[in-house]
Each structure stands twice: as C-alpha cells, then as structure tokens.
Structure 1
C-alpha cells in the first residue's frame, strides 16, 4: 500500500508540472488527421513552414538549395487528440504527430531548417537514409543538439528512392516516445500510383487518470489530473522488451526496471495509433475501383506490430525503402513490422467495399490499430475484424526471386564481426549488451573506406527482440539461422533479431564518418546496446560543446 501511495503522489506531482508546461486551449482540438495522408500528386510544400516565418538560420552557413525542396520544422509542445475522448500532451514537429511528411524526388537537394521551441535540446536523424555523416543528427557525435531558441540546417541530396523517416536522436528513448518524428518519402521517377498513403504506427501510455478529455482538462482537482502520458518520466531505465504480459498492472512499478522482475512489460503502452489516431478516429484510406494503391507502413514505436490487409491480393514491394525483386502476389498473411522498420505494399483496388487494414494479435490493444480501405461511392458495411485469428507469417527471407547481389556467404570479407546480443544484470541493473559490454565501452567496428564487412548477429536474450539499426549504410541479409536466403536479395537498414535467432549480414564501408549501430528498441539502446562504425582516418570539423548536454541515445 505504501508503494502504491508513493506512486500516486509522484504521479500527482508530475501532473501539476505538466499542467503548467502545455497550453491546453491552443491545441486541444487540432485535427492532425491529414498531416501524413497526402497522396503523391500533392506538393510536399503543403506541410512545410516558410523559412520567413521565423527568420534566417543563424547557426549554419550552407549554400542555397537551388534545385530542391526547403522546409522549416519546429519542435514544440502541443496536444494530440488521438480520439474523441482522449487527448495526450506531446512533443511535436510542426504541431503534429507524426510531423510533416517530407516528400521529394530523386535528384532533389533537400534543405531542412530545424528550429527548437522546446526547453530541451533536440536533433533530427534521417533514419535509413545515407546522408553525409555531418547531417546524421547525432548529438555529441556529428553535431550539438539544438538548444532552446536555436536552429540548425540539414542539407543533403536525395539519391535513393524509398520510404524513410526522421526522428530526434537526442535522448531518443524519451523524445521519440513523446512524438518527435515524421516521414521522409523519396519518390522514384519511374514509379506511379493512383493512391500513395503513409501510415505511421506507434503506441502511447494512457490510463483513466491520464485521460486529457475536455471535462478534465485544466482542472487539476478532477480525476484526470492533467497527467497526460507521464511525459516527465525518464523512460531510459524502464528495461522494456517485447512481452505483452499484463501481470505487472498490480505490481510496484516504482523502480521502472521491469527486467528485474523476470519479464519485460510493455503493457503500459495501451493506446495504439496510426498517424496519431486510434480506433474509429483513424482516417479511412479512400480508393476507387481500378486504382493502383501503395501503402507505406512505418513503425515509429517500440513494439512489433503484425499487420493484415483484408479482402485483397497484394505484393510487398519494399522493405526499409529497398525494392523487392519480383515480389509475388500474396493474401491473408501477417506482416510483422519491428521498431524502425518500414514495409511498402501494393495492391489493385478491385473489390469494391469497405475493408480493414488492421493489426493482428491476442492482446486487446491491437483492436485499435486499424484503418478502413474505403471505396468511393460504396456504402456497404465494413468487413468484420479477425484480429485474433492466427495468420501465416510473411517471410521476407523467402519471398520474391533471386537476383545478382553484391555479397555472398562464400566470398572473402575484410572483417568478420560478431555481435552477441544479450540481456544481463550488471551492478543491480538490467542492461542490454553487445559481446558482454554496454555503450560506450562496446567494441567499435573500425573500417577503411571500401572494406567489405560481415556481421553476425546472435540474440542470446531470453525474451527480448533486438531490431538492429545501422546508420548511414544499407546491409544485405545473407542467412538466417545458418540457412542462406532463398528469395529476393534482402537489403535493409534495420533487422529484427528475435530470441535464439542468428543472422549474417554484410555491408560495404562506402560512406565515411562515425556512425552508430544500435538496437532500435530505444529502451535497449539507452541501456547499453549501442556500438559505432568508425572510419579510420576520418576527421570531423565538429567539436562537441560540453555545455549543451548532448545525449546521443
């Protein structure tokens, strides 16, 4: 009882602080539904803020982007109305979660001005995109985090088409959790779709006392307490994994280290969203009969989501932005999308009606991660959910047709690197290790430009998935559990390694710099599962400012 009282008192204190941190009247009814549902024919400037709105950049000296797209993205506190009866305090880019979709074409020079109106420093990392190292957005490694009232300009050439995303990499376990992310879509001039939708998957913490509906907003004496999502809490010590057990709901969470209890609890994330909305509030995807439709699925959260498209045959045409060779037509398979991963699907709208695209799983939370494929002019009832039905699992490693690749298992590599991934107790704390070490003491991968590097992932954690993400490079997946891949070449930047699994991947050191290599369950990264790929002889012009408080993870 004492522990429960302590928790309630702590939560009440957090709620009072939060009440003063957000302007609930300014943003409570903002509709974010159309921020990332733009079709490809619409101009990307629609979501960009003109540079003149806040003045010239004072921190960087870059040449004008004469042939591309220019955006201003402002980090600011706001509120996200996830449903008619639930509003959460969030951190946003341009007052939206997800932030504005940056949609450009191959060949464009992209120029993004980041302005910070938050009290905490922020940055932007271009997840999966091979930007120059000084544009990677890693505080203390490639740049200083942007402090309150300051700005920074990112500039790079859009060279590789596909579906990518961006997010803060400053204290990312907390800042991404609060909503600091958006999508980057680089269009291939050889591709054309009648409808091109982006769906960002995420999960949030909420409970009865965290309900920010109109009745409780502004009234700290009500049951709502204006708590929001406990956004003042430091999530970096939570020790989460992939288990969805609900046993912890009656436990003492005061130390937030779920790993020490023998299981990794994610049940506190009880609100699942697509593009910042949940359940019936999620916008329908409008199509008309005969349309060629592309849906880009991006997982910005910390839980793997298994998605199912009802009523249609479809193809998985890309993973992590990279095209799949000769994708086969499939139906009624569940696509597991791990944190940081992206999957693009394509289908022809040839079955008029109202069909679900929904998450599958046994947990009740999944029922709210769904949208409707709605045909224009069709008024039939939406088909019935079968979210708890077990479906055959889509297997990317045995899909599509083989093709010539850059790497093979039997070739000679310049380096052969082992990453033994594990969950361990060190000094009374649950940590996530690479070869028994935690960052910054993990062994660096030091390379010369042009080297070919083979990496073997072995997940020795009992319960935890580890979606491993390499900055600045793509890697090719060569084998899983000792068996060479049989389908199309699999090129990725984020690969989910489940407990007991072993993967062999390879990459070419073709982008000089200092790059992070880490688990994209950011709780795991914050508690140690990070290393670096460092180019020998690379010298950066950047010198960290010790007063900024850079937190690269």
Structure 2
C-alpha cells in the first residue's frame, strides 16, 4: 500500500490552493456543483489539501421540496474523474452515479447533468462513487435535504455531518494495515483462491486507528460547530455519517426523540433520556428536542478513542452569557436499540409474507494472495452472485456477518428495505425502513424490499475499505438495459 501514491508529498502540499469556504445552503430546482481542490483548516493546527464540491467540506447543502424535478450540473475541475451518487434517495438508475454500472465517470474539465424527481422526503447525502474509498476520504461529499409536504415544522434545523480523517494527509488506502486489499480481486472467482478466516483469530482485520482526527461538519477542536438556539425552540438535528467508523452521539442535557432514520419516519417515537445514538457509516438519524436548558451545552461523541474528544458541536442560546455544562465524553451511557424503538403498526412486509426471491448473504473475511479481502458468500466483486429480480418481485435478504471483528454497514442503492428480524427475533418497535443497516460480527438480520425501481443497483458495505476489497454485489432487474455505453478510457472505478 505504501507505494500507491508516489507523488504523495506533492499531493499533500497546500501551497497555491484556496482555503475552503463555509458550506453554502442552495435552494431551488437547478444547481451546479463544482468538484475542485482546496486547503482545509481543521482547527487543531492541521491543514490538509482536500477535494470538495463547491470549495467547502462538507460540500454545498442542496435543499429541495418533495415532488420537485431537480437538475444538478456536476462540473469537474479536479485532476481525476468523479461522479455523484445520491445516497438513500431513490432516483432512476441512469442517475445513480456509479461509474461503469450506470454511467461513465465525469472526466476532468467535463460537466454531467443529473435529473431526478425528489419523491421521498428526508435526510440524504451525496458523494462521489468513483474510487469512493479515497475520494470520500478527501472530502467529496455533501448533504441533500428533501423537505416533506406534511412534515412537522421546527424552529431550528441543523445538519451535522460526522467524519474522520488521517491527519498525516495520506489516503485511507495507504493507511490501511493489511496489505494491498484489492490485489487481483477482479481476475477470477475467489471460491478456490481465498482462505476463509471466519471464526479464526482476526487480529489482522483492519486497524482504523490512523483516523486520528474526528470532525462535525469538517470542524474540530477550537473550530467546533456552533448551533444557535432560542429558549423554547423546537430543534431538529440531522445526523449524517460520511465516514467509515460508527459514532455514538450524545445530546447532552436534553430529552429527545428519533423521528426518522435514513429519511424514513419512526412510528410514535418515545422520549429518550441519557442514551446515545449510534450512527454507522452511511446512516442518517433525525433527532428532535426542545431548547429548554438555557446556557451552553453540547452534542458530543462517546466513542472510545482519543480522537472523539474533538467530535463536538456546541449548543448556544442567543441570550447565553456563560457555559454551564461540562463535556463528559467518558460517561457510560446505554445506547438506543433502534430495533425496539417506537410502536408497532401495520407495515408492508412481515416474516410471513410470501416472497418471490429469497437470498442469503454471508458477509465474511478471507485471505487472498497474502492480502485481506471482504467477501459475500466467499466471493469478491465483480464475481459475487447478483440478486436477480423481476419488477414487482417481493425480495427477502438474510444478512449474516461471519467476520470476527469487522462491522458491515450494508447499503442498498435505489430502494428502501424493511428490517424484519434481528438474530431470529422479529423487530419489536416501529416498522424500520432503511437503506443502510449496520451488521455487527455474529449478527443476522432479515430484510425485505419490493423490486419497484428497474436497473442495476449496487448492494455493498459502506465501510468503503471493505467495498474496495470485494464486499459488493448488485441487484439486477431481468431485461433491464443500461442507457450508457461503458468507455474503456473513462477509468471507471465503481467501488
């Protein structure tokens, strides 16, 4: 891995690059997002070259209304091809932004226009899906908010994007501690060439400690995000995890409700007191609380790492004179179990539904050519077995994590799925609709979705180190023909 970037010193130079700007909020129906380089000051003495949409980290927030026909022009001013994937929002397959699968990557100096209808309200995000493990690490992401026609009004609406960085500035693929993870993975099936490590001592599984700089909205330490409120405000927090590590978030000093996850509403959410909410890579959680703790308080990470102490957002009242709340990131608090949260009600699927397709995905780890790979049913992409469906099919998928220590936040493009059971027990709380689900070692979930959006759709782990090392498959609709012609010169890298 150490030889991946021979020009690393040059790339890490911040000379001659403009400084990042404050993230803009863009409203309307037509937008331009420009991918370009900048230098970002994290606030702890660290400055790094970053890749951005519109010169900020995160990139511009796009806010549209449910039902809007949206047009986004992606202008590429970087030295490498890029795309935009609209994470969680169901769009036509041709607009999903997957190089080599739904489009050719947008080349340096070129522009591509995405068009879709913002049909489902909620909190979403967008990011490059070209060599995404590295391009997202460099900062190529932003948020997309679809305002619902009937959504509850709030006084303040804040989006908090969680991320983690390598302060040395090297790429995440360089920093990984298990060899060249992608070696020869696309040359043949791995059935005969991998040695399964399931159940073995997995000390070799990835070490994420090189991510030593945690941020909220690109800010850390003295630059921490400040959320201004007025006494009595109803405040919405949209938590988005754009990184590769799960984060336990505590809203210090407030009772709150989780009103939605991955943009999908929770039925009859209960008041939560003194619990953390774990946000896994790719997931989103919308929290609502009442501003009734006058003074200064915090939203803080309770992760068990030194870097977590800088993952903080300060809540400041407009009449506040002094801080009256102290940070306590080491406080031991229980974590909300989203599979038991809210109240049950009628839903589209149950374990008794008659399904047309029943697919099992064992999410594992293996060695191949002295390198770590991440597998689905002992295979690595592009040789994983696809989920073949017909439009209208009801599809059941069993996700089982057979890795010893690695989480696998599994993300399905183009669809929401309902979580039906965890470790053999039916979900107890609200019907749980998601597009990203974190499957921890030893866990097994059954999920279901309707095949109602024709195309070729990726289904992959959103720890993108795992995706780039093989943990990707596709949902393929029978008879669907992609509307683009793959270009061998486009350098398409879909993982």
Q: TM-score range by the shorter chain?
A: over 0.9
Q: Residue 180 of structure 1 aligns with which residue?
A: 140
Q: Is the Cα–Cα contact under 8 Å of residues 83 and 130 in structure 2 kept in the other structure?
A: yes
- Matched residue, 1:16: 9
Give deviations 1:172-206, integer Å, cap 9, x for gaps.
01101111000000001223111000010000001
Query: Would the alpha carbon gap of residues 365 and 457 (structure 1) be closer, same or farther in structure 2, given more than 3 Å must change?
Result: same
Name the counterpart of 1:506.
Answer: 448
SS in 2 for 1:75: strand
Matching residue of 2:48: 88
Give the structure 1 partner of residue 198 of structure 2: none
1:82-135 CA-to-partner distances (Å, cap 9, x unmatched) read 116221111111111100000011111111000111110000000001000000
- Residues 1:127 and 2:87 are matched in the alignment: yes
Q: Distance in 1 between matches of 2:489 and 2:8?
A: 29
Which residue does the alignment assign to 2:120?
160
Does the 8 Å CA contact 2:43/2:220 hold for their aligned counterparts? yes
2:189 aligned residue: none
Is the CA contact (8 Å cut-off) linking 1:240 and 1:523 kept in structure 2? no
| Residue number in structure 2 paired with 1:53 | none
Question: Of the two, which has the highest radius of gyration?
Answer: 1
Q: Please list, as runs of the form range in 1=range in 2, the aligned pairs for 1:508-547 lying within 5 A after superposition.
A: 508-547=450-489
Question: How far, CA to CA, are the matches of 2:304 and 2:428 in structure 1?
Answer: 31
CA contact (8 A) 2:229 2:315 kept: yes
What residue in structure 1 maps to residue 18 of structure 2? 27
Which of 159, 166, 176 does residue 198 from structure 1 map onto? 159
1:486-543 deviation digits (Å, cap 9, x = unpaired): 1000000000000000000000000000000000000000000000000001112211
| Structure 2: segments with no counterpart, 5+ residues | 182-200
- Structure 1 moving runs of 4+ over 6 Å: 10-13
Equivalent residue, structure 2, for 1:478: 420
Aligned twin of 2:170: 230
Q: 1:443 to 1:528 in 2, by over 3 A?
A: same
More helix by percentage: 1
Q: Which residue of 1 aligns with 2:66?
A: 106
Q: Secondary structure at the match of 1:176?
A: helix
CA–CA distance in structure 1, aligned partners of residues 269 and 5 of structure 2: 53
Aligned pairs, number: 475
Distance in 2, Cα, partners of 1:296 & 1:481: 29
Matching residue of 2:429: 487
- Residue 366 in 1 paired to residue 308 in 2? yes
TM-score, normalised by the number of residues in structure 2: 0.92
2:382 matches 1:389 = no
Residue 32 (structure 2) aligned to one of 72, 82, 101: 72
CA contact (8 A) 1:125 1:166 kept: yes
Q: Is the 8 A contact 2:66 2:120 kept in 1?
A: yes
Residues of 2 paired with 1:200 and 1:151: CA distance? 26
CA distance in 2, matches of 1:18, 1:481: 46
User: Superposition RMSD on alpha carbons, in Å?
Assistant: 2.1
What corresponds to 1:325 in structure 2? 267
Q: 1:290 aligns with which of 221, 228, 232?
A: 232
CA 1:326–1:240 in 2, change beyond 3 Å: closer, same or farther?
Answer: farther
Equivalent pair of 2:39/2:50 in contact (CA under 8 Å)? yes
In 2: Cα distance, 1:260 partner to 1:178 partner: 28
Q: Distance in 2 between matches of 1:104 and 1:468?
A: 27
Q: 1:262 to 1:153 in 2, by over 3 A?
A: same
Structure number having the greater strand percentage:
2
Cα 1:447–1:98 shift into 2, 3 Å: same
Question: Quick one: structure 1 residues 295 and 412, their matched pair in 2 at CA, closer, same or farther if it must change by over 3 Å?
Answer: same
Q: Do 1:237 and 1:523's aligned partners in 2 also have CA atoms closer than 8 Å?
A: no
